[in-house]
Amino acid sequence: MNKNTKLFLIVLFLLSLFLVILFLNRNSLKKDTKQVVIEKTEDNIELKNDFSIILNDYELYQIDELNLKFAIVDLRIKSTDKINLDLKDFITNEGIALDNYSESITGLEEKKYFLGKENVVFNIESNDNIYDVKLFVLIKNSLKTLKYKDIVLKFNQNKIYQNGEKLKDNHKKIIVNEKYKIEIEKSVNLTGQQFFINGNEYSLPSTLEIYGLKINLINLSNENIYIEKAKFINAKNNEELFALDSNFSNDKYDNIIGKNISNGMLFFEIYNPVGKDILYQGKLYLKLNINNDYIEVDVDLNREGIASEKH
């Protein structure tokens, strides 16, 4: 082999080696680039679908007079998307879906047990990323697990059942549905306190008295909810008393009419020239801004407050 041939082979070998190294480096670079893209895509998917349900707490109830067992379950739901879950997708270990509640709630309310006192709701919807919610869970024998799709919540079997006394109506009228809870407390005679109309002090004539009904309005939805107007109808003579407008106020209590507040008073002006005791029994009608019809509830407007239920 002559000198030129040897030189040619060496050059050819070096060129081939260079091409091999270049090829290997390019493949390695493509793999690294592809891996980075995959990692970013997976991260995006994980963030978009971030969702969890945590069991905050729960209470067990056994109402012997109804032969009914149930739980009030306090959940914390986290999601990067809008929260809108269906109750039927929550299933207990006994095969009971959480949308199976109507008959039980009717029985409880007939016996004056009100889940609204514990802020139980019957829809799960929120624009917040973290939402604490209390749900009604019917129990046949024992509650061991509550499953939502692939999420399973487990319950302690040693927890004691309560008798439901804390859910009883203790001199409050309670109206509750999936959007709001309204509590109507006893009436009170406010005559003698300071009142204002449009911010100006109002001197109450001696022939008139002011009675108030304390109202708690708890919003359970994302809607703006308030009381537009209210009236009381005396059952004895059908006299109508209209709650005073929002321009009427008191130095101690907020007028709840037309205001997006959670608690306040309905003020009623009653003609009482001889100063006799007011002992009105009748119905209170509340008109919410989200409803076309009035909400109707039996109340007493007197010095003793709300009397026993009418049947």
The pLDDT, as a whole number, for residue 238 is 87
Indicate if 102 and 205 belong to the same structural domain. no
Does residue 210 carry a pLDDT above 70? yes
The pLDDT, as a whole number, for residue 242 is 95
From 167, 192, 215, give the residue that closes a domain.
167
Does residue 12 carry a pLDDT above 70? no
Instruction: For residue 8, tell me if it sits in a domain.
Output: no
Q: In the predicted model, what is the mean pLDDT of residues 14-22?
A: 66
Instruction: For residue 136, tell me if it sits in a domain.
Output: yes
From 167, 198, 224, give the residue that closes a domain.
167
Q: Are strands 51-63 and 68-79 parallel, antiparallel or unpaired?
A: antiparallel
Record the tokens describing residue 279, joined without a space.
Answer: 């002992």
The pLDDT, as a whole number, for residue 44 is 30
From 132, 167, 202, give the residue that closes a domain.
167
Between 45 and 281, residue with greater pLDDT: 281
Record the tokens describing residue 45, joined without a space.
Answer: 């998917």
Does residue 42 carry a pLDDT above 70? no
The pLDDT, as a whole number, for residue 51 is 92
Beta pairing partners, 284: 232, 297
- Residue 37 — pLDDT band, cuts 50, 70, 90? very low
Tally of structural domains, the chain: 2
Do residues 181 and 174 make contact, with C-beta atoms less than 8 angstroms apart? yes
Indicate if 199 and 122 belong to the same structural domain. no
Does residue 246 carry a pLDDT above 70? yes
The pLDDT, as a whole number, for residue 36 is 35
Q: CA dist 194 to 197, 250, 257, Å? A: 11, 6, 18
Distance CA 147, CA 231 (A): 46
Per the structure, the complete domain to which residue 230 belongs is given by 173-302
Distance CA 78, CA 148 (A): 13
Does residue 310 carry a pLDDT above 50? no
- CA 217 to chain CA mean position, Å: 12
Indicate if 177 and 103 belong to the same structural domain. no
CATH of the domain at 247: 2.60.40
Q: Calculate the dihedral angle through the C-alpha atoms of 105, 106, 108, 109, rounding to the nearest 10 degrees.
A: 110
Distance CA 211, CA 279 (A): 11
Instruction: For residue 11, tell me if it sits in a domain.
Output: no
Indicate if 274 and 191 belong to the same structural domain. yes
Judged by average pLDDT, the poorest of 34-38, 69-73, 176-180 is: 34-38
Indicate if 240 and 215 belong to the same structural domain. yes
The pLDDT, as a whole number, for residue 289 is 94
Q: Three-class SS of residue 270?
A: strand
Q: In the predicted model, what is the mean pLDDT of residues 275-284?
A: 74
pLDDT in tens, 55-95: 999 999 999 999 999 999 999 999 998 999 999 999 999 99
Indicate if 199 and 138 belong to the same structural domain. no
Indicate if 71 and 124 belong to the same structural domain. yes
- Residue 115 — pLDDT band, cuts 50, 70, 90? confident
- Residue 112 — pLDDT band, cuts 50, 70, 90? confident
Between 310 and 209, residue with greater pLDDT: 209
